[in-house]
Amino acid sequence: MSEGESVRVAVRVRPFNAREKERNAKLCIRMEDKTTTIINVEEDKEKKFTFDFSYWSHDGANERPDGYNEPAGEGMGTDGATYADQDAVFKDLGQGVLNNAYEGFNSCLFAYGQTGSGKSYSMVGYGTNKGIVPVSCDAIFKKIDEMKASPDAGKFQYQVTIQMLEIYNEQVRDLFAKTNPTGGLKVRMNPKSGVEVVGLTEWPVGSYREIDERIETATKNRTVAATQMNATSSRAHTVVTIAYTQLELNAKGPGKHSEKKAKINLVDLAGSERAESTGATGDRLKEGAAINLSLTMLGNVITALAEKSNNPNKKVLVPYRDSKLTCILQDALGGNAKTIMICALSPADINYEETLSTLRYADRAKQIKNKPKVNLDPTEVLIQQLKEENERLKKMG
């Protein structure tokens, strides 16, 4: 995998919200298969983008008695589009993240888009329309139960831990802690394990219910506020990290165990925004400026990585250290992780500029190449390398 593996990118468009309906907004997004088209209604011009997945969640849905939104049928949406429900998004994106973790690869899934574009719906969801984070957590323990019931169950042990942080005004806060140090937690590079947040709480969890309770407690500590674009606008970037460890007992002889570790980062980015659209003033305006600045830094990193991928022989400085967000996402972007980006889109022509900006952001991200590797015990890696070298020398002889 020396040439790297591309970041997979998905886009998802939501229904009109109350504000857009009040302003008689017109639909400016069209989707067909993997292609997303944005239409400048005033100038009658179109721009097309192709991604790994284009999800139509604007219309064509039926609400079941339990409140779950499911497809009304094939081609029942505008222009023959078929509604993409939470289950379809999880099967394409969330399940892939979990499969990578079971194989020992670090994975990252992050959601990007303007304020109120539907990021949190895809990541967290509501009611029976559960998003990728809760469904992934549930699926991990179902998988463990399945493996515990297999004939080889006695050979393996499993451990799952969870961490949850937010980056607010360039300060890292532990969402599991009642109090955080002034100035926030420190972020540093550990030569063995990569980027780490010093003092971040890591909770061992034994069931989906435990994770659900932890996330619910942490979510109450998140920084949210009302803006004109969104009544519960997240004012901080949120990162949920699930560490999955699989121990194979006596794999290398009596008492010598083999360990496979993987980290799953699920990132809900605060919404990019324009002050005139959100009506932000005072603290909200300052927060918006900090959010936009860190997203600009993220954009700079994505641009640098895209250039590096397209010109492998060129020396390109990737500015990871310019913000806490890019520092924490270093492995996810151009490093040791399999990464998926989901970009949330507004369907309304009144948000045309912001939506076009999101599509361009996503288009750059798909050019990034990561170099994921299975996370094994360092001694095991050394043994494997020596075996490969031995085989190479044998062939030469």
Q: Tell me which residues are annotated as active site.
A: 116, 118-121, 268, 271
Q: What are the distances in angstroms from CA 271 to CA 142, 170, 259, 331?
A: 33, 15, 38, 22
Residue 237: which of 157, 169, 178 has the closest Cα?
A: 169
Question: Tokens 């955080």 label which residue?
Answer: 180
In 231-312, which ranges are E strands? Answer: 233-234, 237-248, 258-268
Say how many C-beta atoms besides its own lie within 10 A of residue 6's C-beta.
15
Q: Considering only CA atoms, give the Rg of the chain.
A: 22
Question: Please, are residues 261 and 243 in contact by the beta-carbon 8 Å criterion?
Answer: yes
- Give the amino acid at 299: G
Q: Which residues contact 322 (CB under 8 A, 6 or more apart)?
A: 297, 300, 301
Q: CA 13 to CA 321: how far, in whole Å?
A: 32
Report which secondary-structure segment, H or E, holds 135.
helix 132-148
